[in-house]
């Protein structure tokens, strides 16, 4: 190529002359480009219809003592367990020092006989076993997560295994003696 | 041209293994660009910018869109109403399609006026036409996705074009539809292809730029770079000029997005697709109107070839003909600036395309601009005739007969002369 | 050269302006009169009181036949209702839900996240009850018709008692000046005092028509206010940036003869 460009000649702008104007324009441009990306990122957040998803009302009158049911709430299972006297006592008598994530049983239930927790293992999101009759309930009469072996007690608290925290208690209220509204 | 020396160790380490920095340096500082490019040369990079915008907004739309006949319309409305800034992203995408065609059409007319298709830029020109064809396919399939009335009937009419071909026509159309009419399988495959095509376009753009860097930019004089004084580095001169142009263009683009988002659209596309009712006026999007007019203007058969097939062939020919214009144009001079006769024919072609667009929009039996007795179809036929005559007759003849004005000795000289006149 | 370019640009603009205008004017039916709307212009916003009156018209009159299926009760926040008002409005509607534990569908009072229920279970039922014509969904009406809200006003007020002499009006159809083809299946829906306003606004046919058209423009473009308010900020920013870019461009190019 016989031609070379004038880039090294008289038209090369002096690097030192990167004056205020150029800097300011660059700054404004970069800020603008950044702001332009925000709506795109925000579009990935939960949309209004997802946020408006209804709360669920569950009829709990036909859950016998000692059994539990699973209901769907916001795309996740919620465990509702009708606890036996023994399970309640076990849950209440554990000393807080023994717990990985110390919480009293009383702070986790509205009514002693009903335990309501989000059925998602706090380790990596599997669904623990122990809700249906006959499933393993782990070493503490609660739930057992088959993915990585976390044991939850009859208050849904983590007792053994890799999970870092207790099963989450969702917001709920008893609309009547037989109906609970989750969310 | 010697490779630059990198002082930064990391940069050097990377560059020794994958010369990205050398390549950037090469195309930014060493790539010689004519110093006299006008603002007409902004539209190539602008089109590239719109392509990126379309891909970006499209990816985010696809996250919320459902390509199913029962849910597509609903999912688009969900984007408009419930997704955070969904309306903004969709309106950017919708108007972006129009902006893409505006940029590309100006880019093409610029190339036609300044003879940018002539040797040695034939490959560059061809790849450009391929990009236009790919864009048309992409735009057409994208328009089907909202599954409104215009989507559905546009898809029906355009896919039915293929039935014009004898023997194989019917099979081709069934293959395109995945059934016996435009329906859910059609929508589903159009979505798949609409997502694929932009990346094909992107690949073609890379080839386009590669070819450009091989043959260099044309310029308003059409005289090649002869001495170093004729050229300047792309960066910073043309980067800043492109950026400024982009600012002006964004004001134009986003004005429509924010204040007249449905300006380029058709009201009927806000009615969900209904296979039982055709809207009274079906018209393609504005960027297809001239081609639609050419299609419709053939309402007669020739030597037993039916009008329907002729129309389809004419429409395809109107683009295919662009491939051969490097050889149809017999003039030794590139730029129409120095072609006192041809430049008026160019102006006629330019206006002709607008007339074709107008004819594509109107019903064939309407009167042209309300002029009693002058039917749109007749004007469309004349305009079609000129369109082809321009390339097949005017280009070869005028090139031979016309006496061009004297060309400047070099780009630098032309710059100085104009400067003296001003 | 410059003169040539100017000629070309002028020709292009003249053609677009002329052909564009002519093309718009050539739709079927007469062009409806352009109305004054509060949301026009760069900074235009909706008039909440008008939207609420329009909603009242929709609810009491249109909803008998026309669905509004893209609108949820929660969306009514956009026309100025608060959470309790929305709950109360939603509860007035029966929403089909289910299946329940016995596998049956049941109805319950609506809640904020429900969508406006359709007056007919399906399009066949809608056609059967309306002499074969399906009343269209109204959510997007203001965008789905040329001239949008202006057309809605014109249609509501464009009924004639009797078809003009010589016009062959089919049985069960009504003559409307602005409807394409003039024969419409919908009986004149609005009349003076069709709905009782509580805010002292005159209860004329004209006013009802304007209010419901405004409401339907909101259902079609609920994002309008957010769009315009973001729009002029973006415009302002871009103008500043572009002027700065131009100054930088001038500075970089000042030594180049071009």
pLDDT tens profile B161-192: 999 999 999 999 999 999 999 999 999 999 99
Output the pLDDT for position C11.
Answer: 67
**Residue ranges of C 228-247 with Cβ closer than 8 A to chain B:** 228, 230-232, 234-235, 238-239, 241-242, 245-246
Percentage with pLDDT > 70 across chain C = 89
Flag whether pLDDT at C231 surpasses 60.
yes
Q: Which of A:85-114 have CB within 8 Å of C?
A: none
Q: Which tokens go with B71?
A: 């849910």
Q: Give the count of Cβ contacts less than 8 A between chain B and C.
A: 122
pLDDT category of residue B364 using cuts at 50, 70 and 90: confident
Please answer yes or no on whether A39 and B228 come within 8 Å at the CB atom: no
Confirm whether B118 is a catalytic residue.
Answer: no
Pull the structure tokens for residue B141. Answer: 């399939």
Q: What is the pLDDT of residues B275-310, one digit of tens each?
A: 999 998 889 999 999 999 999 999 999 998 999 999
Give the pLDDT band (50/70/90) at residue C256: confident
Q: Are C208 and C57 in contact (CB under 8 A)?
A: yes
Query: Shortest CA distance to A59 belongs to which of A82, A84, A88, A87?
Result: A82
pLDDT for A1 beyond 80:
no
Residues of C in contact with B268 (CB under 8 A): 144
B242 labelled catalytic: yes
Count of all residues that appear for chain B in the document? 422
Cα A31 to Cα C74: distance, rounded to the nearest angstrom: 35
Residue C23, pLDDT > 80, answer no
The count of residues in chain C is 258
Best A2, A5, A36 member to test B by mutation, with max B CBs in 10 Å, is A5
Edge-to-edge strand order for the sheet containing A141-145?
A: A141-145, A150-153, A158-160
Over chain A, what is the mean pLDDT? 87
Tell me the average pLDDT across B186-199. Answer: 98
Which segment of A66-70, C14-18, C116-120 scores lowest on mean pLDDT? Answer: C14-18
pLDDT at A9: 42
Determine the distance in angstroms separating the CA of C19 from the nearest CA of chain A, rounded to an integer. 35
Q: What is the pLDDT of residue A58?
A: 87
Please tell me the predicted confidence (pLDDT) of residue A5. 45
Average pLDDT over residues A7-30: 71
- pLDDT-based confidence at residue C6 (cuts at 50, 70, 90): low
> What's the confidence (pLDDT) of residue C27?
47
- Whether the Cβ atoms of residue B100 and residue B53 lie closer than 8 Å to each other: no
Which pLDDT belongs to residue A10?
44
Per-residue pLDDT at A80: 94
Return the pLDDT at C21.
47
User: What pLDDT score does B67 carry?
Assistant: 97
Tokens representing A130 are 């122990």
Per-residue pLDDT at B4: 77
Contact A140, A151 (CB under 8 A): yes
Q: How many CA atoms does the CB half-sphere of C138 hold within 13 Å?
A: 28
| Interatomic CA distance for residues C148 and A30, integer angstroms | 39
**Which residues 228-247 of C have a C-beta within 8 angstroms of A?**
237-238, 240-241, 244-245, 247
Residue B68: active-site member: no
* Predicted confidence (pLDDT) per residue in A133-167, tens digit: 889 999 999 999 999 999 999 999 999 999 999 99
- For residue C109, what are the β-bridge partners? C94
The CA distance from A60 to A68, in Å, is 10
The radius of gyration computed from the CA coordinates of chain C, to the nearest angstrom, equals 25
pLDDT at position C154 over 70: yes
Q: In a mutagenesis test of the A interface, which of C72, C113, C246 is the best target, namely the one with the most A β-carbons within 10 Å?
A: C113
Q: Which 3-state string (H, E, C) describes C126-195?
A: HHHHCCCCCCCCCCCHHHHCCCHHHHHHHHHHCECCCCCCCCCCCCCCEEECCCCCCEECCCCCCCCCCC
**What mean pLDDT value characterizes chain C?**
90
Task: Give the lowest-confidence range in B169-178, B207-216, B254-263, C94-103.
Answer: C94-103
| pTM metric for this prediction | 0.90
Residue C246 has pLDDT above 90, yes or no: yes
What is the residue-wise DSSP string for A161-178?
SS--SPPPPPPEEESSSS
pLDDT digits (tens, 9 = 90+) for B242-279: 999 999 999 999 999 999 999 999 999 999 999 999 99
C161-206 pLDDT, tens digit per residue, is 888 888 989 888 999 999 999 999 999 999 999 999 999 999 999 9
pLDDT at B314: 96
Q: C201 to each of B338, C53, C156, C208, how far by Cα in Å?
A: 69, 9, 18, 10
CA dihedral B256, B258, B263, B265 (to 10 degrees): 110
Q: Is the pLDDT of residue A169 over 80?
A: yes
Helices B289-297 and B376-389, packing angle to 10 deg: 100
Name the packing angle between helices B307-328 and B122-144 (round to 10°).
150
Give A102-156 as a DSSP string.
---SGGG-SSTTEEEEE-S-TTTS---B-SSTTS--TTTEEEEETTTTEEEETTS
pLDDT at A71 over 50: yes
Q: Could you tell me what percent of chain C has a pLDDT over 90?
A: 75
Taking contacts as CB-CB distances below 8 angstroms, the residues of chain B near A45 are 84
Percent of chain B with pLDDT over 70: 98
Chains that touch C (3 or more CB pairs under 8 A): A, B
Token pair for residue C235?
């415009």
Q: pLDDT of C28-69, one tens digit each? A: 578 999 999 999 999 999 999 999 999 999 999 999 999 999
Q: Do residues B308 and B164 touch, judged by C-beta distance below 8 A? A: yes
From the CA atom positions of chain A, what is the Rg in Å? Answer: 29
Quickly count: other Cβ atoms within 10 Å of residue A103's Cβ: 15
Q: What is the pLDDT of residue A8?
A: 42
> Which tens digit of pLDDT belongs to each residue from B300-339?
999 989 999 999 999 999 999 999 999 999 999 999 999 9
The rounded distance, in Å, linking the Cα atoms of B123 and B102 is 23
Rounded mean pLDDT of chain B? Answer: 94
- The pLDDT of residue B164: 92
Asked if A154 contacts A87 with a C-beta cutoff of 8 angstroms, the reply is yes
Which position has the higher pLDDT, B68 or B28? B68
Q: For chain B, what is the radius of gyration of the CA atoms?
A: 24
Question: Which pLDDT belongs to residue B348?
Answer: 97
- Comparing CB atoms, the residue among A11, A32, A54 nearest residue C113 is A54
Quick one: pLDDT at residue C22? 45
> Closest partner residue to A48 among B63, B64, B82, by Cβ?
B82
What is the arithmetic mean of pLDDT over B87-115?
Answer: 98
Taking CA atoms, B169 is separated from B184, B313, B383, in Å, by 21, 13, 28
A29–C255: do the CB atoms touch at under 8 Å?
no
Res. B384: pLDDT tops 70: yes
Catalytic residue among A11, A123, A148, A151, which? A148
Q: Which of C26-35, C95-104, C112-121 has the highest mean pLDDT?
A: C112-121
CA distance B177 to chain A (A): 32
HSE toward the beta carbon, residue C23, CA cutoff 13 A: 22
Rounded Cα distance, C70 and C123, in Å = 16
C9 CB near a chain B CB, below 8 Å?
no
Read off the pLDDT of each residue in A107-118 and give the average, rounded to a whole number: 93
- List the single range of A74-78, B26-30, B141-145, C51-55 with lowest mean pLDDT: B26-30
Question: How many C-beta atoms surround the C-beta of residue B93 within 10 A?
Answer: 20
B285 assigned to active site: yes
Residue B1 has pLDDT above 60, yes or no: no
d(Cα B76, Cα A120) in Å, to the nearest integer? 32
Residue B156 — very low, low, confident or very high, per pLDDT cuts 50/70/90?
A: very high
How high is the pLDDT of residue A161? Answer: 93
């Amino acid at each position: 190529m016989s031609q070379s460009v004038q880039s090294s000649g008289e038209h090369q702008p002096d690097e030192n002359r990167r004056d205020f104007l150029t800097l300011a324009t660059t700054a404004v441009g970069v800020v603008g480009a950044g702001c332009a990306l925000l709506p795109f990122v925000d579009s990935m957040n939960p949309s209004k219809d997802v946020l408006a998803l209804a709360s669920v009302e569950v009829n709990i009158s036909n859950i016998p003592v000692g059994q539990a049911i699973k209901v769907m709430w916001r795309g996740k299972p919620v465990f509702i367990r009708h606890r036996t006297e023994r399970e309640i006592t076990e849950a209440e008598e554990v000393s807080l020092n023994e717990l990985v994530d110390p919480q009293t049983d009383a702070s986790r239930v509205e009514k002693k006989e009903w335990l309501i927790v989000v059925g998602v293992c706090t380790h990596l999101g599997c669904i623990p076993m122990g809700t249906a009759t006959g499933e393993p309930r782990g070493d503490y009469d609660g739930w057992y997560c088959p993915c990585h072996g976390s044991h939850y007690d009859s208050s849904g608290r983590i007792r053994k295994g890799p999970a870092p925290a207790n099963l989450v208690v969702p917001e709920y209220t008893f609309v009547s003696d037989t109906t609970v509204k989750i969310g | 041209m010697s490779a630059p020396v990198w002082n930064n160790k990391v940069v050097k380490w990377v560059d020794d293994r994958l010369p990205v920095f050398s390549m950037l340096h090469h195309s930014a500082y060493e790539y010689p660009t004519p110093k006299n490019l006008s603002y007409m040369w902004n539209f190539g990079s602008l089109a590239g910018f719109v392509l990126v915008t379309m891909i970006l907004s499209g990816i985010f739309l696809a996250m919320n869109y459902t390509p199913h006949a029962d849910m597509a319309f609903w999912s688009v409305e969900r984007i408009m109403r419930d997704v955070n800034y969904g309306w903004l992203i969709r309106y950017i995408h919708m108007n972006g399609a129009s902006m893409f065609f505006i940029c590309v059409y100006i880019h093409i007319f610029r190339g036609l006026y300044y003879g940018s298709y002539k040797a040695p830029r034939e490959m560059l020109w061809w790849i450009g036409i391929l990009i236009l064809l790919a864009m048309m396919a992409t735009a057409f399939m994208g328009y089907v996705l909202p599954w409104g009335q215009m989507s559905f009937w546009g898809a029906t009419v355009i896919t039915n074009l293929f039935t014009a071909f004898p023997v194989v026509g019917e099979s081709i159309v069934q293959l395109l539809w995945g059934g016996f009419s435009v329906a859910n399988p059609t929508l589903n495959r159009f979505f798949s292809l609409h997502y694929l095509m932009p990346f094909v376009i992107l690949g073609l753009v890379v080839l386009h730029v590669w070819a450009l860097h091989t043959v260099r930019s044309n310029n308003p004089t059409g005289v090649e770079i002869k001495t170093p004084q004729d050229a300047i580095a792309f960066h910073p001169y043309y980067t800043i000029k492109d950026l400024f142009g982009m600012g002006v263009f964004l004001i134009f683009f986003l004005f429509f997005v924010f204040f007249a988002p449905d300006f380029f659209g058709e009201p009927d596309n806000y009615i969900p697709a209904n296979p039982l009712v055709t809207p009274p006026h079906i018209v393609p999007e504005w960027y297809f109107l001239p081609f639609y007019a050419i299609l419709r203007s053939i309402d007669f058969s020739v030597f037993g070839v039916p009008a329907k097939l002729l129309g389809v062939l004419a429409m395809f020919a109107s683009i295919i003909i662009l491939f051969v214009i490097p050889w149809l144009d017999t003039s030794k001079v590139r730029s129409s600036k120095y072609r006192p006769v041809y430049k008026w024919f160019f102006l006629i072609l330019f206006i002709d395309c607008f007339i074709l667009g107008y004819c594509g929009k109107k019903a064939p039996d309407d009167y042209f601009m309300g002029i009693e007795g002058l039917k749109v179809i007749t004007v469309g036929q004349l305009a079609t005739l000129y369109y082809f005559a321009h390339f097949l007759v005017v280009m070869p003849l005028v090139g031979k007969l016309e006496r061009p004005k004297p060309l400047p000795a070099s780009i630098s000289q032309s710059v100085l002369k104009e400067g003296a006149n001003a | 050269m410059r003169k040539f370019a100017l000629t070309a640009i002028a020709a292009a603009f003249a053609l677009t302006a002329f052909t564009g205008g002519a093309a718009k004017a050539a739709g079927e039916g007469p062009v409806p009169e352009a109305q004054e709307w509060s949301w026009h212009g760069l900074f235009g916003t909706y008039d909440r009181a008008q939207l609420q009156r329009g909603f009242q018209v929709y609810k009491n009159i249109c909803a008998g036949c026309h669905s509004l299926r893209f609108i949820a009760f929660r969306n009514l926040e956009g026309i100025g209702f608060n959470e309790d008002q929305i709950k109360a409005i939603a509860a007035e509607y029966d929403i089909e839900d289910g299946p329940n534990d016995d596998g049956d569908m049941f109805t319950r009072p609506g809640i904020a996240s429900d969508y406006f229920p359709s007056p007919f279970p399906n399009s066949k039922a809608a056609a059967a009850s309306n002499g074969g014509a399906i009343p269209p969904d109204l959510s997007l009406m203001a965008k789905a018709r040329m001239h949008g809200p202006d057309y809605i006003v014109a249609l509501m007020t464009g009924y004639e008692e009797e078809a003009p002499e010589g016009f062959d009006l089919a049985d069960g159809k009504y003559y409307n000046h602005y409807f394409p083809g003039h024969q419409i299946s919908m009986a004149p829906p609005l009349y003076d005092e069709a709905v009782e306003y509580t805010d002292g606004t005159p209860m004329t046919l004209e006013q009802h028509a304007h209010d419901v058209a405004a409401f339907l423009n909101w259902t079609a473009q609920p994002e309008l206010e957010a769009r315009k308010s973001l729009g002029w900020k973006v415009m302002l920013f871009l103008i500043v940036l572009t002027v700065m870019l131009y100054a930088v461009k001038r500075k970089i190019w000042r030594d180049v003869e071009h």
